[in-house]
Amino acid sequence: MTVRRRGKLLVGPVDLTLGPAGLTIVLGPNGSGKTTLLRALHGLERLSAGTVSWQMPAPDCQTRQAFVFQRPVMMRRSVQDNLAYPLTLAGMPRKAARKMAAEWAARVGLGHVLDIPAPQLSGGERQKLALARALMRQPEMLFLDEPCAALDGPATREIETILSQALADGTRILMATHDIGQARRLATDILFMMGGQIIEQGPATAFFANPQTPQAKALINGDIVE
Ligand SMILES: Nc1ncnc2c1ncn2[C@@H]1O[C@H](COP(=O)(O)OP(=O)(O)OP(=O)(O)O)[C@@H](O)[C@H]1O
pLDDT digits (tens, 9 = 90+) for 4-35: 999 999 999 999 999 999 999 999 999 999 99
The pLDDT mean for the chain works out to 94
What is this structure's pTM? 0.94
At 5 the pLDDT is 94
> What spacing in Å lies between the alpha carbon of 30 and ligand 1's midpoint?
8
SS3 169: coil
Asked whether the beta carbons of 135 and 103 are under 8 A apart, the reply is: no
36 lines ligand 1 (CB under 6 A): yes
pLDDT at 71: 87
Ramachandran angles phi, psi of 201, nearest 5°: -155, 155
Asked if 159 and 128 count as a contact pair (C-beta separation under 8 A), the reply is yes
Report the relative pairing of strands 23-27 and 8-11 from DSSP bridges: unpaired
Probe ligand 1: pick from 3, 4, 10, max atoms within 8 Å of CB? Answer: 10
35 lines ligand 1 (CB under 6 A): yes
Instruction: Give pLDDT tens digits along the chain (226 positions).
Output: 999 999 999 999 999 999 999 999 999 999 999 999 999 999 999 999 999 999 877 777 878 999 999 888 899 999 999 999 999 998 999 999 999 999 999 999 999 999 999 999 999 999 999 999 999 989 999 999 999 988 899 989 999 999 999 999 999 999 999 899 999 999 999 999 999 999 999 999 999 999 999 999 999 998 888 7
What is the whole-number distance in angstroms between the Cα of residue 29 and the centre of ligand 1? 11
- For ligand 1, atom 16, name the residue with the nearest CA: 33
CB of 188 closer than 8 Å to CB of 22: yes
